[in-house]
């Protein structure tokens, strides 16, 4: 407004126009096509004297508007790349980081994996071999149950990474050790508040080194940074598996998965849940929040910028794969990420993309589906069978742990194990015997016919119904989900099904291919 001659109020007809257009062919996000500011002055000396002040106000208003838009949860905006180039960032990480032991007295640095070691020398502190430690935890959590037999480490080349949504959950580390340490000799725990973890290590009397990463300053929404930091270490791992602290893995089926491919749950391809950038209201609650729509548009726009301005080959290949898979320039998929496997051979593109995701604080539930869509299909991606439980279905999670799943979410320590007899029995009698090697002798007929009743109690057999019995030694027996698998660990084609509480078994189609005769 301007008060001209005679004290009358005169309006400044100022118009500012932003046009946001979508280049469908290039698949680029909405970009700023034009900006026109028209200021009309009446020819008066006072107007010209006020011109510098008006222009200054306009500049300030424009800057404030741009700042507001860039912070907006709903705006379709142009996000210019920042001063730090992702490729420069990657080049600086080519020199890997050596493993450190974090000082117990000092603060744990952010983003640097290292060991935390309990300084206590108490006699009751859990120390010793992995087998000893796991057995002591098992005897404490599953009192009265049969001792766990020894097993071979199944995945020594894979780093298991467990992310914690909240530091209060550090009190289940002993439980996680019981579930997974026998199969993964290398486990990295990732979360906030290392001082809380130190207190828990002392309280639980954990004397073995805890491999820990101080991360997740943006909470669970950026959990991909747990893998990102782990990939920068000097190690010989061939892959990285990220799970939540309440994810339950089916070891039998995970063993069969292709470890050279990235893996996520098949809910992604079954439901195809998605959002469109041209709309604002969705059932996915995080789309309008920080890390949702505006963040993904920022990531997509920066990729397009790098292709057009910098001829960035990584960005170019990623976008080509992405639009080949999605086939739409305004669609983003989303899904809960409680299981993510990334092979080391894809570490370059993973580090490249997660650097962008972290820059815009992109929510993992839309970031990882975006990453998966940008890989080469099907060569680089494998979707694993999973189930995610909600509402009342969570009350008895153990009943939904089907034999064909790779993972189930959630299986809570307090809700489904410590305070639930059925869940505890499932864990102590069933789940914890997956991949268990049990030396056993059974009796079959010389004609290789179906075996009649066999008591499985320390290799004692009831063979009175067999003709010409022949004693054979089963060299590998694995107990899983109420079944015993006989054979080598990659081909459990013969099963022994439990019948009743006295553990009377029936062997079906049992051939010399899976036994050694004595």
Report pLDDT digits (tens) over 181-237: 999 999 999 999 999 999 999 999 999 999 999 999 878 889 999 999 999 999 999
CA angle 487, 259, 94 (to 5 degrees): 145
List residues bridging with 18 in a β-sheet: 35
Distance CA 27, CA 376 (A): 18
Domain boundaries, the chain: 2-71, 102-256+385-433, 267-383, 440-517
Over residues 162-174, the mean pLDDT reads 95
Least confident of 102-116, 334-348, 373-387, 464-478: 464-478
Give the closest residue to 278 by CA, choosing from 22, 11, 19: 22
Q: Secondary structure of 506-518 in the HEC alphabet?
A: EECCCCHHHCEEC
Over residues 391-419, the mean pLDDT reads 90
Q: Does residue 9 have a cis bond before it (omega within 30 degrees)?
A: no
Let me know: does 222 contact 361? Beta carbons within 8 Å. Answer: yes
Q: Pick the residue with more confidence: 401 or 48?
A: 401
Is the dihedral angle over the CA atoms 283, 287, 293, 295 positive or is it negative? Answer: negative
Instruction: Band the pLDDT of 129: cuts 50, 70, 90.
Output: confident
DSSP 8-state class, residue 233: B
Which pLDDT score, from 0 to 100, does residue 331 have? Answer: 81
Over residues 476-489, the mean pLDDT reads 39
Q: Pick the residue with more confidence: 9 or 51?
A: 51
Over residues 302-321, the mean pLDDT reads 93
Distance CA 75, CA 280 (A): 9
DSSP 8-state class, residue 471: E
Which pLDDT score, from 0 to 100, does residue 112 have? Answer: 95
Which pLDDT score, from 0 to 100, does residue 230 have? Answer: 97
Give the closest residue to 293 by CA, choosing from 82, 69, 17: 69
* Residue 170, pLDDT above cutoff 70: yes
Q: What is the pTM of this model?
A: 0.69
Share of the chain above pLDDT 70, in %: 64
Residue 489: exposed, middle, or buried by beta-carbon count in 10 A (0-12, 13-18, 19+)?
middle
Is the dihedral angle over the CA atoms 334, 335, 337, 340 positive or is it negative? Answer: negative
β-pairing, 516-517 with 469-474? antiparallel
Query: Of the segments 25-29, 174-178, 276-280, 296-300, which one has the largest average pLDDT value?
Result: 174-178
Q: Pick the residue with more confidence: 473 or 54?
A: 54
pLDDT in tens, 242-254: 999 999 999 989 9
Which pLDDT score, from 0 to 100, does residue 334 have? Answer: 86
Which pLDDT score, from 0 to 100, does residue 283 have? Answer: 67
Instruction: Band the pLDDT of 108: cuts 50, 70, 90.
Output: very high
Give the closest residue to 181 by CA, choosing from 132, 140, 146: 132
Least confident of 125-139, 202-216, 459-473: 459-473
* Residue 368, pLDDT above cutoff 80: yes
* Residue 41, pLDDT above cutoff 90: no
> What string of DSSP letters covers 134-145?
HHHHHHHHSTTS
* Residue 239, pLDDT above cutoff 90: yes
Greatest distance between any 2 Cα atoms in the chain = 123
Let me know: does 182 contact 233? Beta carbons within 8 Å. Answer: no
Over residues 480-507, the mean pLDDT reads 36
Let me know: does 150 contact 183? Beta carbons within 8 Å. Answer: no
What are the phi and psi torsion angles at 388 (to 5°)?
A: -115, 120
* Residue 324, pLDDT above cutoff 60: yes
* Residue 91, pLDDT above cutoff 70: no
List residues bridging with 86 in a β-sheet: none
User: What Rg, from alpha-carbon coordinates, does the chain have?
Assistant: 30
pLDDT in tens, 55-87: 565 555 444 434 433 443 333 333 333 434 444
Over residues 276-291, the mean pLDDT reads 74
Which pLDDT score, from 0 to 100, does residue 53 have? Answer: 62
Over residues 268-275, the mean pLDDT reads 78
Is the dihedral angle over the CA atoms 321, 326, 329, 335 positive or is it negative? Answer: negative
Q: Pick the residue with more confidence: 326 or 15?
A: 326
Provide the edge-to-edge strand list for the sheet that holds 407-409. 248-249, 407-409, 386-388
Task: Tell me what the pLDDT averaged over the chain comes to.
Answer: 73
Share of the chain above pLDDT 90, in %: 43
Which pLDDT score, from 0 to 100, does residue 140 have? Answer: 92
Which pLDDT score, from 0 to 100, does residue 220 have? Answer: 85
Which pLDDT score, from 0 to 100, does residue 258 have? Answer: 96
* Residue 382, pLDDT above cutoff 60: yes
Give the closest residue to 161 by CA, choosing from 129, 139, 187: 187
* Residue 171, pLDDT above cutoff 80: yes
Least confident of 180-189, 376-385, 394-403, 492-501: 492-501
Which pLDDT score, from 0 to 100, does residue 412 have? Answer: 93
Q: Pick the residue with more confidence: 501 or 79?
A: 79
Q: Pick the residue with more confidence: 240 or 495?
A: 240
Cβ neighbours for 149, distance < 8 A, ≥ 6 positions apart = 436, 437, 438
């Amino acid at each position: 407004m301007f008060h001209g001659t005679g004290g009358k109020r005169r309006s400044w007809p100022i118009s500012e126009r932003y046009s946001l257009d979508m280049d469908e062919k290039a698949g680029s996000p909405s970009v700023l096509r034009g900006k026109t500011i028209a200021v009309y002055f009446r020819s008066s000396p006072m107007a010209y004297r006020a011109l510098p002040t008006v222009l200054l106000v306009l500049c300030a208003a424009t800057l404030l508007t741009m700042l507001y838009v860039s912070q907006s949860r709903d705006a379709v905006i142009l996000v210019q790349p920042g001063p730090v180039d992702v490729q420069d960032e990657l080049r600086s990480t080519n020199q890997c980081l050596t493993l450190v032991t974090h000082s117990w007295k000092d603060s744990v640095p952010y983003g640097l994996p290292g060991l935390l070691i309990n300084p206590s020398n108490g006699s009751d502190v859990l120390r010793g071999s992995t087998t000893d430690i796991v057995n002591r935890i098992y005897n404490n959590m599953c009192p009265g149950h049969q001792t766990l037999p020894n097993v071979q480490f199944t995945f020594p080349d894979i780093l298991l990474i467990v992310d914690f949504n909240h530091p209060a959950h550090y009190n289940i580390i002993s439980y996680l050790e019981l579930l997974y340490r026998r199969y993964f000799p290398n486990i990295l725990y990732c979360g906030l508040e290392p001082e809380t973890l130190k207190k828990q290590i002392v309280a639980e009397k954990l004397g073995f080194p805890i491999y820990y990463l101080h991360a997740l300053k943006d909470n669970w929404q950026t959990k991909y940074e747990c893998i990102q930091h782990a990939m920068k270490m000097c190690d010989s791992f061939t892959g990285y598996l990220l799970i939540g602290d309440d994810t339950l893995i089916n070891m039998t089926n995970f063993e069969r998965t292709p470890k050279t491919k990235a893996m996520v749950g098949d809910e992604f391809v079954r439901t195809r849940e998605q959002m469109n950038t041209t709309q604002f209201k969705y059932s996915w609650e995080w789309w309008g929040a920080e890390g949702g729509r505006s963040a993904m548009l920022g990531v997509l726009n920066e990729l397009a910028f790098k292709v057009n301005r910098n001829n960035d080959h990584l960005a170019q290949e990623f976008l080509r794969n992405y639009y080949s898979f999605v086939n739409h320039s305004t669609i983003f998929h989303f899904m809960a990420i409680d299981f993510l496997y990334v092979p080391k051979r894809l570490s370059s593109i993973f580090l490249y993309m997660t650097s962008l995701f972290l820059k815009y604080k992109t929510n993992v539930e839309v970031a990882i589906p975006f990453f998966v869509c940008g890989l080469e299909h099907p060569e680089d991606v494998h979707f694993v069978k999973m189930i995610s439980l909600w509402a009342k279905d969570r009350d008895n999670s153990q009943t939904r742990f089907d034999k064909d799943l790779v993972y189930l979410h959630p299986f809570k320590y307090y809700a489904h194990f410590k305070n639930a007899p059925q869940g505890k029995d499932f864990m102590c009698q069933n789940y914890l015997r997956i991949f268990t090697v049990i030396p056993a002798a059974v009796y079959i007929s010389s004609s290789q016919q179906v075996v009649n009743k066999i008591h499985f109690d320390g290799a004692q057999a009831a063979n009175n119904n067999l003709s010409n019995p022949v004693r054979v030694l089963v060299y590998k027996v694995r107990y899983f989900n109420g079944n015993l698998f006989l054979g080598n660990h990659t081909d459990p084609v013969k099963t022994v099904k439990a019948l009743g509480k006295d553990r009377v078994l029936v062997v079906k189609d049992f051939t010399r291919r899976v036994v050694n005769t004595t």
